[in-house]
Amino acid sequence: MERITQNVYVETKIRGCNPGIVFTEEGAVFIDTAQWVTYLIDMIKFAKERGPIKYLINTEGHIDHIFGNHWFAKECPVIGHEKLEDIFWTVAGDLDCYDYSIDVLERQDKPGLKLMPSREEYIINKPQITFSDKMSLKVGKHTFKLYHTPGHSESQIAVHIPEEKVVFVGDTVFSDCQIWLHSADIDPLIKSLHFIEELEDVEYIVPGHGPVVKKDYIKKQLAFIYEWIAAVADGIAKGWSQEECIKNISFANHCPVDIGQDEMMEYIQRTNVIKCWKYVQGKNLW
Protein backbone atom coordinates (compact mmCIF):
# COMPACT_ATOMS: atom_id res chain seq x y z
CA MET A 1 0.00 0.00 0.00
CA GLU A 2 1.00 3.56 -0.53
CA ARG A 3 1.37 5.68 2.58
CA ILE A 4 0.17 9.10 1.47
CA THR A 5 0.23 10.89 4.83
CA GLN A 6 1.23 10.04 8.41
CA ASN A 7 -1.91 7.96 9.01
CA VAL A 8 -3.44 7.29 5.61
CA TYR A 9 -2.73 4.26 3.43
CA VAL A 10 -4.18 3.70 -0.03
CA GLU A 11 -3.93 0.94 -2.62
CA THR A 12 -4.19 2.18 -6.19
CA LYS A 13 -2.45 -0.64 -8.06
CA ILE A 14 -4.92 -3.52 -7.93
CA ARG A 15 -8.03 -4.27 -9.97
CA GLY A 16 -11.16 -2.70 -8.50
CA CYS A 17 -11.54 0.44 -6.46
CA ASN A 18 -8.81 2.19 -4.45
CA PRO A 19 -9.35 0.95 -0.89
CA GLY A 20 -7.87 2.97 1.97
CA ILE A 21 -7.15 2.78 5.68
CA VAL A 22 -7.01 5.74 8.07
CA PHE A 23 -5.31 4.97 11.39
CA THR A 24 -6.63 6.91 14.38
CA GLU A 25 -5.77 6.74 18.08
CA GLU A 26 -8.80 4.51 18.60
CA GLY A 27 -8.30 2.18 15.66
CA ALA A 28 -8.56 1.89 11.89
CA VAL A 29 -11.25 3.25 9.61
CA PHE A 30 -11.50 1.51 6.23
CA ILE A 31 -12.78 3.30 3.17
CA ASP A 32 -14.13 0.86 0.56
CA THR A 33 -12.87 -2.69 0.17
CA ALA A 34 -10.51 -4.51 -2.17
CA GLN A 35 -11.91 -6.86 -4.79
CA TRP A 36 -9.09 -9.39 -4.58
CA VAL A 37 -9.80 -11.46 -1.47
CA THR A 38 -6.14 -12.27 -0.74
CA TYR A 39 -5.34 -8.57 -0.79
CA LEU A 40 -8.40 -7.68 1.28
CA ILE A 41 -7.45 -10.16 3.99
CA ASP A 42 -3.87 -8.85 4.03
CA MET A 43 -5.21 -5.30 4.51
CA ILE A 44 -7.42 -6.40 7.41
CA LYS A 45 -4.45 -8.22 8.98
CA PHE A 46 -2.23 -5.17 8.51
CA ALA A 47 -4.81 -2.97 10.27
CA LYS A 48 -5.48 -5.38 13.14
CA GLU A 49 -1.79 -5.65 13.95
CA ARG A 50 -2.09 -2.01 14.98
CA GLY A 51 -5.41 -2.09 16.80
CA PRO A 52 -9.12 -2.61 16.31
CA ILE A 53 -11.09 -1.76 13.17
CA LYS A 54 -13.65 0.90 14.11
CA TYR A 55 -15.63 1.49 10.93
CA LEU A 56 -15.93 0.66 7.26
CA ILE A 57 -17.21 3.48 5.05
CA ASN A 58 -18.55 2.74 1.53
CA THR A 59 -18.26 5.59 -0.98
CA GLU A 60 -20.81 3.93 -3.32
CA GLY A 61 -22.73 0.75 -4.00
CA HIS A 62 -21.02 -0.66 -7.09
CA ILE A 63 -19.59 -4.12 -6.60
CA ASP A 64 -15.93 -3.05 -6.87
CA HIS A 65 -16.39 -0.93 -3.72
CA ILE A 66 -18.64 -3.10 -1.56
CA PHE A 67 -17.58 -6.63 -2.43
CA GLY A 68 -15.40 -6.98 0.68
CA ASN A 69 -18.09 -5.87 3.15
CA HIS A 70 -18.68 -9.52 4.05
CA TRP A 71 -15.31 -9.67 5.81
CA PHE A 72 -16.24 -6.72 8.06
CA ALA A 73 -19.55 -8.15 9.30
CA LYS A 74 -18.04 -9.31 12.57
CA GLU A 75 -15.50 -6.49 12.81
CA CYS A 76 -17.25 -3.14 12.81
CA PRO A 77 -20.28 -1.11 11.72
CA VAL A 78 -20.56 -0.06 8.07
CA ILE A 79 -21.41 3.53 7.12
CA GLY A 80 -22.85 4.75 3.82
CA HIS A 81 -25.43 6.94 2.16
CA GLU A 82 -29.08 6.08 2.86
CA LYS A 83 -29.77 5.41 -0.84
CA LEU A 84 -27.00 2.80 -0.99
CA GLU A 85 -29.71 0.35 0.04
CA ASP A 86 -31.33 0.68 -3.39
CA ILE A 87 -28.39 -0.66 -5.38
CA PHE A 88 -26.47 -2.69 -2.82
CA TRP A 89 -25.64 -6.17 -4.15
CA THR A 90 -28.14 -5.90 -7.01
CA VAL A 91 -26.36 -6.10 -10.35
CA ALA A 92 -22.83 -6.23 -11.74
CA GLY A 93 -23.03 -6.14 -15.52
CA ASP A 94 -24.71 -9.29 -16.85
CA LEU A 95 -23.98 -11.40 -13.79
CA ASP A 96 -25.30 -11.33 -10.26
CA CYS A 97 -22.85 -9.93 -7.73
CA TYR A 98 -21.76 -13.29 -6.35
CA ASP A 99 -21.02 -14.83 -9.76
CA TYR A 100 -19.33 -11.62 -10.87
CA SER A 101 -16.99 -11.79 -7.86
CA ILE A 102 -16.20 -15.46 -8.46
CA ASP A 103 -15.37 -14.62 -12.08
CA VAL A 104 -12.97 -11.86 -11.00
CA LEU A 105 -11.23 -14.22 -8.58
CA GLU A 106 -11.00 -17.03 -11.12
CA ARG A 107 -9.29 -14.77 -13.59
CA GLN A 108 -7.18 -12.57 -11.34
CA ASP A 109 -6.91 -13.89 -7.78
CA LYS A 110 -7.03 -17.70 -7.90
CA PRO A 111 -5.78 -18.17 -4.30
CA GLY A 112 -8.69 -15.90 -3.27
CA LEU A 113 -11.22 -18.50 -4.50
CA LYS A 114 -10.36 -20.77 -1.56
CA LEU A 115 -11.12 -17.92 0.84
CA MET A 116 -14.45 -17.03 -0.76
CA PRO A 117 -17.48 -18.14 1.28
CA SER A 118 -20.27 -20.09 -0.40
CA ARG A 119 -23.23 -18.15 -1.74
CA GLU A 120 -25.25 -19.16 1.36
CA GLU A 121 -22.51 -18.09 3.75
CA TYR A 122 -21.71 -14.81 2.05
CA ILE A 123 -23.03 -11.96 4.22
CA ILE A 124 -24.57 -9.07 2.29
CA ASN A 125 -23.33 -6.56 4.82
CA LYS A 126 -25.17 -3.32 4.08
CA PRO A 127 -24.45 -0.12 6.03
CA GLN A 128 -25.95 -0.08 9.51
CA ILE A 129 -25.30 3.66 9.86
CA THR A 130 -26.64 5.88 7.08
CA PHE A 131 -27.04 9.58 6.40
CA SER A 132 -28.71 11.78 3.80
CA ASP A 133 -26.82 15.05 3.28
CA LYS A 134 -23.75 15.05 5.49
CA MET A 135 -22.35 13.52 8.63
CA SER A 136 -19.40 14.15 10.90
CA LEU A 137 -17.68 11.42 12.85
CA LYS A 138 -14.95 11.80 15.43
CA VAL A 139 -12.64 8.80 15.87
CA GLY A 140 -9.76 9.50 18.24
CA LYS A 141 -8.37 12.83 17.18
CA HIS A 142 -9.51 12.45 13.59
CA THR A 143 -12.64 13.94 12.05
CA PHE A 144 -14.36 12.14 9.21
CA LYS A 145 -16.59 14.52 7.30
CA LEU A 146 -18.94 12.61 5.03
CA TYR A 147 -20.71 14.46 2.23
CA HIS A 148 -23.35 13.31 -0.22
CA THR A 149 -21.76 13.96 -3.63
CA PRO A 150 -24.21 12.46 -6.14
CA GLY A 151 -23.29 12.15 -9.81
CA HIS A 152 -21.41 8.96 -10.63
CA SER A 153 -24.16 7.20 -8.70
CA GLU A 154 -27.05 8.47 -6.67
CA SER A 155 -25.63 7.32 -3.33
CA GLN A 156 -22.11 8.60 -3.95
CA ILE A 157 -20.26 10.16 -1.01
CA ALA A 158 -16.91 11.84 -0.28
CA VAL A 159 -14.96 11.22 2.94
CA HIS A 160 -12.84 14.15 4.03
CA ILE A 161 -10.29 13.86 6.82
CA PRO A 162 -9.10 17.46 7.34
CA GLU A 163 -6.40 16.52 9.89
CA GLU A 164 -4.68 14.51 7.13
CA LYS A 165 -5.67 16.88 4.29
CA VAL A 166 -7.07 13.90 2.42
CA VAL A 167 -10.43 13.41 0.73
CA PHE A 168 -11.62 10.05 -0.61
CA VAL A 169 -14.00 10.85 -3.46
CA GLY A 170 -14.75 7.40 -4.87
CA ASP A 171 -15.78 7.32 -8.53
CA THR A 172 -16.56 11.02 -8.68
CA VAL A 173 -12.97 11.06 -9.99
CA PHE A 174 -11.19 8.59 -12.27
CA SER A 175 -7.57 9.66 -12.60
CA ASP A 176 -5.59 8.80 -15.74
CA CYS A 177 -8.14 6.19 -16.72
CA GLN A 178 -11.49 6.01 -18.51
CA ILE A 179 -14.46 7.64 -16.78
CA TRP A 180 -17.54 5.42 -16.36
CA LEU A 181 -20.72 7.40 -16.95
CA HIS A 182 -23.02 4.37 -17.26
CA SER A 183 -24.82 5.03 -13.97
CA ALA A 184 -24.21 8.78 -13.83
CA ASP A 185 -26.39 11.84 -13.80
CA ILE A 186 -24.14 14.44 -15.37
CA ASP A 187 -25.39 17.71 -13.81
CA PRO A 188 -25.01 16.50 -10.21
CA LEU A 189 -21.64 14.97 -11.14
CA ILE A 190 -20.34 18.34 -12.35
CA LYS A 191 -21.75 20.03 -9.24
CA SER A 192 -20.06 17.48 -6.97
CA LEU A 193 -16.72 17.99 -8.73
CA HIS A 194 -16.98 21.73 -8.04
CA PHE A 195 -17.93 20.96 -4.44
CA ILE A 196 -14.79 18.88 -3.95
CA GLU A 197 -12.70 21.55 -5.64
CA GLU A 198 -13.92 24.08 -3.08
CA LEU A 199 -13.27 21.98 0.03
CA GLU A 200 -10.61 23.46 2.28
CA ASP A 201 -7.88 21.43 3.95
CA VAL A 202 -7.34 19.13 0.99
CA GLU A 203 -3.94 18.24 -0.35
CA TYR A 204 -4.63 14.73 -1.63
CA ILE A 205 -7.63 13.48 -3.55
CA VAL A 206 -8.03 9.71 -3.52
CA PRO A 207 -10.07 8.83 -6.62
CA GLY A 208 -12.14 5.68 -7.00
CA HIS A 209 -9.70 4.47 -9.65
CA GLY A 210 -6.22 5.57 -10.73
CA PRO A 211 -3.41 7.34 -8.88
CA VAL A 212 -3.87 9.79 -6.00
CA VAL A 213 -4.10 13.34 -7.37
CA LYS A 214 -4.09 16.97 -6.28
CA LYS A 215 -6.95 19.43 -6.64
CA ASP A 216 -5.81 20.60 -10.07
CA TYR A 217 -6.93 17.24 -11.46
CA ILE A 218 -10.58 18.23 -10.98
CA LYS A 219 -10.31 20.57 -13.96
CA LYS A 220 -8.94 17.72 -16.11
CA GLN A 221 -11.82 15.49 -15.04
CA LEU A 222 -14.32 18.23 -15.91
CA ALA A 223 -12.60 18.77 -19.27
CA PHE A 224 -12.93 15.05 -20.10
CA ILE A 225 -16.65 15.07 -19.24
CA TYR A 226 -17.20 18.17 -21.39
CA GLU A 227 -15.25 16.55 -24.25
CA TRP A 228 -17.62 13.59 -24.08
CA ILE A 229 -20.70 15.80 -24.09
CA ALA A 230 -19.35 18.00 -26.90
CA ALA A 231 -18.51 15.02 -29.12
CA VAL A 232 -22.00 13.56 -28.74
CA ALA A 233 -23.70 16.98 -29.14
CA ASP A 234 -21.67 17.48 -32.30
CA GLY A 235 -22.83 14.10 -33.61
CA ILE A 236 -26.46 14.91 -32.85
CA ALA A 237 -26.03 18.27 -34.63
CA LYS A 238 -24.78 16.37 -37.69
CA GLY A 239 -27.98 14.35 -37.61
CA TRP A 240 -26.41 11.12 -36.34
CA SER A 241 -28.67 8.61 -34.64
CA GLN A 242 -27.68 7.19 -31.25
CA GLU A 243 -26.31 4.10 -33.03
CA GLU A 244 -24.27 6.28 -35.39
CA CYS A 245 -22.88 8.20 -32.42
CA ILE A 246 -21.89 4.89 -30.79
CA LYS A 247 -20.21 3.83 -34.02
CA ASN A 248 -18.37 7.07 -34.64
CA ILE A 249 -17.43 8.37 -31.19
CA SER A 250 -14.71 6.88 -29.03
CA PHE A 251 -12.23 8.20 -26.49
CA ALA A 252 -10.49 4.83 -26.25
CA ASN A 253 -7.20 6.47 -27.25
CA HIS A 254 -7.51 9.10 -24.54
CA CYS A 255 -6.37 6.84 -21.68
CA PRO A 256 -6.55 3.18 -20.60
CA VAL A 257 -9.25 1.49 -18.55
CA ASP A 258 -8.33 1.11 -14.89
CA ILE A 259 -6.08 -1.88 -14.03
CA GLY A 260 -7.30 -5.33 -15.00
CA GLN A 261 -10.43 -4.32 -16.91
CA ASP A 262 -9.18 -3.75 -20.47
CA GLU A 263 -12.03 -5.84 -21.83
CA MET A 264 -14.49 -3.17 -20.63
CA MET A 265 -13.23 -0.46 -23.02
CA GLU A 266 -15.95 -0.98 -25.63
CA TYR A 267 -18.69 -1.16 -22.98
CA ILE A 268 -17.51 2.11 -21.44
CA GLN A 269 -17.38 3.90 -24.81
CA ARG A 270 -20.87 2.70 -25.74
CA THR A 271 -22.56 3.43 -22.42
CA ASN A 272 -20.85 6.84 -22.15
CA VAL A 273 -22.22 7.77 -25.60
CA ILE A 274 -25.70 6.64 -24.57
CA LYS A 275 -25.51 8.64 -21.33
CA CYS A 276 -24.28 11.79 -23.09
CA TRP A 277 -26.89 11.32 -25.80
CA LYS A 278 -29.65 11.35 -23.19
CA TYR A 279 -28.03 14.29 -21.44
CA VAL A 280 -27.83 16.40 -24.59
CA GLN A 281 -31.48 15.55 -25.34
CA GLY A 282 -32.40 16.82 -21.88
CA LYS A 283 -33.22 13.42 -20.43
CA ASN A 284 -31.81 12.47 -17.09
CA LEU A 285 -32.09 8.94 -15.81
CA TRP A 286 -32.53 9.16 -12.07
Site for Zn ion, rule CB under 5 A:
17, 64, 171, 208
Minimum CB separation of residue 170 from Zn ion in Å reads 7
Minimum CB separation of residue 64 from Zn ion in Å reads 4
Cβ proximity to Zn ion, 7 vs 18, nearer residue: 18
Cβ proximity to Zn ion, 23 vs 180, nearer residue: 180
Q: Three-class SS of residue 94?
A: coil
Minimum CB separation of residue 95 from Zn ion in Å reads 16
Rounded-to-integer distance, Cα 125 and Cα 132, Å = 19
Rounded-to-integer distance, Cα 193 and Cα 208, Å = 13
Minimum CB separation of residue 65 from Zn ion in Å reads 6
Minimum CB separation of residue 62 from Zn ion in Å reads 5
Which contacts of 47-54 are long-range, i.e. CB under 8 A and separated by 24 or more positions?
Answer: 47/21, 47/23, 50/23, 51/23, 51/26, 51/27, 52/26, 52/27, 52/28, 52/76, 53/27, 53/28, 53/29, 54/24, 54/26, 54/27, 54/28, 54/29, 54/139
Query: What phi and psi values does residue 146 have, to the nearest 5 degrees?
Result: -105, 130
Cβ proximity to Zn ion, 127 vs 235, nearer residue: 127
Cβ proximity to Zn ion, 208 vs 235, nearer residue: 208
Cβ proximity to Zn ion, 64 vs 75, nearer residue: 64
DSSP code of 229?
A: H
